[in-house]
């Protein structure tokens, strides 16, 4: 099972993308726990949950460098969701991105 955490400003705009990613995972028989949270919930969530990959919504891409430093000793990759995939809510492509990172 792969655990994929999406982070955005309030965790709201990403919820539709989560749904589309879950549908893509189901159709590909990928066992994945995919969820979205607000940026201010990251530390609390990581304290209680192990993740395989952290994806940032394009609107919070500015957090990437600080997250890279803050979580440098963690064993999960951090990346920014492709802006066009995010805008088109392309769950299949974002799932593909996450799975490639989570190897």
| 99 neighbors 79 (Cβ within 8 angstroms) | no
Across-strand partners of 36?
Answer: 6
Q: Please tell me the predicted confidence (pLDDT) of residue 13.
A: 75
End-to-end CA, the chain:
11
Each residue's pLDDT expressed in tens, for the chain with a length of 103 residues: 999 999 998 867 788 999 999 999 999 999 999 999 999 999 999 999 999 999 999 999 999 999 999 999 999 999 999 999 999 999 999 999 999 999 7
Q: Which of 5, 6, 7, 8 is catalytic?
A: 8
pTM of the predicted model, to two decimals? Answer: 0.95
Condensed to tens digits (0 to 9), the pLDDT of residues 33-54 reads 999 999 999 999 999 999 999 9
Q: Residue 80 catalytic?
A: no
Q: Which domains, from first to last, does the chain contain?
A: 2-101 (3.40.50.2300)
């Amino acid at each position: 099972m792969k655990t994929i955490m999406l982070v955005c400003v309030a965790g709201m705009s990403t919820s539709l993308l989560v749904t589309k990613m879950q549908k893509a995972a189901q159709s590909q028989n990928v066992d994945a726990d995919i969820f979205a949270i607000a940026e201010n919930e990251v530390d609390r969530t990581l304290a209680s949950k192990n993740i395989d990959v952290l994806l940032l919504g394009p609107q919070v891409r500015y957090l990437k460098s600080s997250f890279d430093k803050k979580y440098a000793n963690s064993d999960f990759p951090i990346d920014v969701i492709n802006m066009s995939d995010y805008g088109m809510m392309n769950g299949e492509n974002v799932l593909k991105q996450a799975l490639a990172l989570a190897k």
